Amino acid sequence: MLYMNELSHRSPTPLNFHNTLFYQSEFYDAYNRATPSDPGDLEECSDISFWLETAKDYGDRVLELGCGTGRISIPMAEAGLQVTGVDAFANMLDGARKKSDRVTWIEADIRSLNLGKTFPCIIMPYETLDLFLDLEDVEKVLACVNQHLQADGRFIFDLRHFSLRYVRDLLQDKTPRFDRVFPYPDGEGEVKVMYVEDYDFETQVYTERMIFHLPDGKEVAEDFPHRIYFPREIEAILKYNGFAIDRRFGDFDRSPFRGDSVRQILVAQLAR
C-alpha cells in the first residue's frame, strides 16, 4: 500500500496537496460524480442550486474561492452570472478550462490574492475554509475576502459541523468504511474508496484518510486534515476580522442551523 504520510494531527496546509491523486482533475470529477455511502457527503449537483440561488440574491458577479474543476462556477456562468474562479491547483484549473470558457479562471493562492476589484458575492464552497488549519492562514483568507467584497456584499461559505453524535460515532469506529465506487478515469476498471476518520481534541483537527483501491491492485492512501470550527468560535473569528453573520443554515435545503446539523453554512457581511 502506498501512503502519503502517517495519520497526523499536525498536517500541512492545503497547498501541500498538489501531488495527491485525489486532486488530479479527472480523478476528482469522477469521484464527485459517484454516489457517496455517507448521507452527510455531497452528491454531484446536490448543493449547486443553493449556491446559484443564493448568489443571485446579491448580484450578477460572483467570485468563487477554491473553485476546483468548476463544479459550482460553471453552472453559475451557464445561468448568466459573471463568475471568476480562483484556485491554487493548476491541474484542477486545467480540467475546468477544458469544460468551460465562460468563467474567468485564475491560478492563485487565496491567502495573497489581489484582483484589484470587488464583488457583490464571494463564495467558498465544499468546506474549503476548514482546509486552512492555522488561524494565521484563516485570517489571511478573510483579509482577502474583506479586500474583494463590496460594502453591501455577502461572503457565503460552508463548514463541516461536529455534533456530539458525530464525534461519538467517529471515535467508536476506527475501522475502514466504504465510501463509493467510480470508473477509473485513466483506463478500464473501477476505483473502490474506503476511508478512516480521526479527530484530535487538542488541535481540533479532523483527519480523513482516503484509501483508493485501483484496478491494477494497488492501494493509495491519502490524508486530508480539516480544522473544525465550532459555531461560537467561527462567529468570534469573523467578528475580529471585520465580519458579522447575516444568516446561518444547517444544510443546503436552507433548514435552520441546529446543534445536530451536519454542516454550518454561513452568510456573512462586512461589519458596520
pTM for this one?
Answer: 0.90
In angstroms, how far apart are the furthest CA atoms of the chain? 58
How far apart CA 145 and CA 148 sit, in angstroms, is 5
pLDDT of residue 67: 97
Sign of the CA dihedral with 228 first, then 234, 236, and 241 last: positive
CA dihedral 252, 212, 130, 154 (to 10 degrees): -40
8 A C-beta contact, residue 151 and residue 270: yes
Map grid coordinates 474583494 to a residue. 148
How far apart CA 207 and CA 52 sit, in angstroms, is 30
Query: How many angstroms separate the Cα of 47 from the Cα of each of 53, 190, 211?
Result: 10, 26, 25
**48-161+229-270: in CATH 3.40.50.150:** yes
Map grid coordinates 465562460 to a residue. 102
pLDDT of residue 183: 95
pLDDT of residue 36: 85
Q: Which residue stretches of the chain have pLDDT < 50?
A: 1-15, 43-44
The domain limits of the chain are 48-161+229-270
Q: Which residues contact 36 (CB under 8 A, 6 or more apart)?
A: 42, 43, 179, 180
How far apart CA 174 and CA 83 sit, in angstroms, is 41
How far apart CA 259 and CA 198 sit, in angstroms, is 21
pLDDT of residue 175: 84
* Grid cell in block for residue 48: 449547486
pLDDT of residue 12: 39
Helix (H) or strand (E) holding 136: helix 135-148
